[in-house]
Amino acid sequence: MHRIPAPFRRLSVKYNDFEQVLNLKTNSAFKNNKEEQVRQKTYRWLTEKLGIHPDYITFEVHISDAKGRADIVVRDEKDEVIWLFECKHEGVPLSTDVLRQVERYDDFIHAKFFSITNGLEIESYRFNEKTKSSEPVATPLTMKELKGKFSKAIFEPHPLTFLKWEEIHVTNPIGKHAKEILTSNTKELPLLWQKAMLNLYRALNVTQRNYWEGKMGNSALEIERDHGVQLIRMGNASGWNGAAHMRSLQVNYKNKHYRVGLQLMPWSKSDGSKLSLIVNLATYELAERDSHNALQLDTERCFGIGSRGRMFCWHDRAPSIGNQGSASNADFFDFLKKQDPNWLYTDAAGKTWVDLGSFTTGKWLTFANEDFKVAIFRIIQYAIIRDEFREVMKSNNVK
């Protein structure tokens, strides 16, 4: 055993405006959980003291074969696991049971080091291939042997210059998430539509002179704080989990607080990669795993461009209810009508659509453009209403 005082034991934990532990990795919040405090202290030590870039650190890595989640996993730029952490709160002793838990995870992850900590003390180990057992090692207090493997270029904010469509994957601030933003299908779409999508993308990712805060008329929704572009945890009903850089907003809707993430990104489907507008929601009252994709708008289906460059946005599908499949459009539209009949309109062919607003795209889009602001408010509110409908349907099915 090589137990030492945890080098991060005196680091502080950061809180949001609601006195909840702030997850510095994903900008989401937890109830004041003692184990999460230890995990956040560990994360601060790895990033601030050892200089490990956040992109190399992953929280709660699901290991299905071991039937558990590894608290913190550190990888190098070759995607090899360097360090695995199991975090317990200060009242839990570093026992053999805790060691066995992290060993069970390491059987599948194969980390160079694995550590157990309760925030006050830390023990570190490595697996000895000859003896087929864990042997204690001195906890690495620096990463000299890995120097250079954790450096990462920091993207500069977008300049206020017009980017060509083909340049977006080179100069955008979200790196790998936009590599495929120009899909083969997109090339066949009208040039005016492509320019409008690029304008929307720039509006989501450029923060200079483009601050998204305030209310809209009599709307029950208010954007209380614009956090800019931040890494946000994502998930969907099928169980997929990941993270992406999104425009991060703190929103109040009918006195309930949400963290909203918005981003245009490629999304793989059976018929190829599609460019989608993702609306991610998390309630401040719940844990980080509540962070989920509440709305996904396929841009080729849900955004149309007029001859004068006006972009129209609509939708026509009821949400999925967990693993129960999609609800019926009739039930969902009835729910929307009770909220406000103006959500719906019927086209000449008799098909019902959800109206998500429209805005001109012939000039630089910012939150100062009133029609663009209205559309953003409607899209966010629509995503929240879809979540409310999900909860109603779930409760009805339980009964």
Q: Contact 310/360 with Cβ under 8 angstroms? A: yes
The reply to whether 79 and 181 lie within a common domain is no
Residue 170 pLDDT greater than 80, yes or no: no
**CATH code for the domain of 31:** 3.90.1570.30
Domain hosting 89: range is 3-146
Q: Does residue 359 belong to any structural domain of this protein?
A: yes
b/e code 197-231 from CB counts within 10 Å (16+ = b): bbbbbbbbbbbeebebeeebeeeebebeebbbbbb
Tell me: do 75 and 189 sit in the same domain: no
CA atoms within 13 A on the CB side of 347: 9
pLDDT in tens, 7-37: 999 998 887 666 777 777 766 666 677 888 9
Q: Is the C-alpha dihedral spanning 185, 187, 188, 192 positive or negative?
A: positive
Element (H, E) at 109: helix 96-109
CA distance 212 to 205: 11
Cα dist from 91 to 22, 88, 124, whole Å = 21, 8, 19
Distance, CA of 231 to CA of 397 (rounded, Å): 34
In a domain, 244, yes or no: yes
Say whether pLDDT at 209 is over 70: no
**Dist. CA 279–CA 293, nearest whole Å:** 6
Residue 214 lies in a domain: yes
User: Over pLDDT 90: what percentage of the chain?
Assistant: 24
Strand spans (E) along 176-271: 214-215, 221-235, 241-253, 256-269
* Coil/strand/helix, residue 188: coil
Contact assessment for residue 315 and residue 353, using Cβ atoms and an 8 Å cutoff:
yes
pLDDT over 60 at 106, yes or no: yes
Is the predicted pLDDT of residue 327 greater than 70, yes or no?
Answer: yes
Same domain, 102 and 185: no
203 shares a domain with 62:
no
Identify which has the larger pLDDT, 356 or 52: 356
Tell me: do 184 and 114 sit in the same domain: no
**Residue 81's CB: how many other CB atoms inside 10 A?**
20
Counting beta carbons within 10 angstroms of the beta carbon of residue 9, is it exposed (0 to 12), middle (13 to 18) or buried (19 or more)? middle
CA distance 88 to 35: 5
The pTM of this model reads 0.57
Tens of pLDDT along 283-314? Answer: 765 444 467 888 989 888 899 888 778 899 99
How large is the average pLDDT for residues 345-350? 87
Nearest of 259, 253, 251, 262 to residue 219 by alpha carbon: 253
Per-residue confidence (pLDDT) for residue 333, from 0 to 100: 93
Q: Are residues 175 and 294 in the same domain?
A: yes
Nearest-angstrom CA–CA distance, 384 and 261: 12
Residue 230 φ then ψ, to 5°: -135, 160
Residues 6+ apart with CB under 8 A from 215: 221, 222, 223
Give the separation between CA 233 and CA 261, rounded to whole angstroms.
9
* 220 plus 310 within the same structural domain: yes
Mean pLDDT value of segment 378-399: 85
Q: How many residues does the chain have?
A: 399
Sign, CA dihedral 357-358-363-368, equals negative
C-alpha 386: how far from chain center: 18
For tokens 């972009």, name the residue.
311
Which is more confident, 318 or 265? Answer: 318
Q: Do both 242 and 211 map to the same domain?
A: yes
pLDDT of residue 272: 54
- 141 and 178 share a domain? no
Q: Which of 100-104, 240-244, 276-280, 337-341 has the lowest mean pLDDT?
A: 240-244
Domain boundary among 146, 181, 212: 146
Total structural domains within the chain: 2
Provide the β-strand partners of residue 260: 249, 281
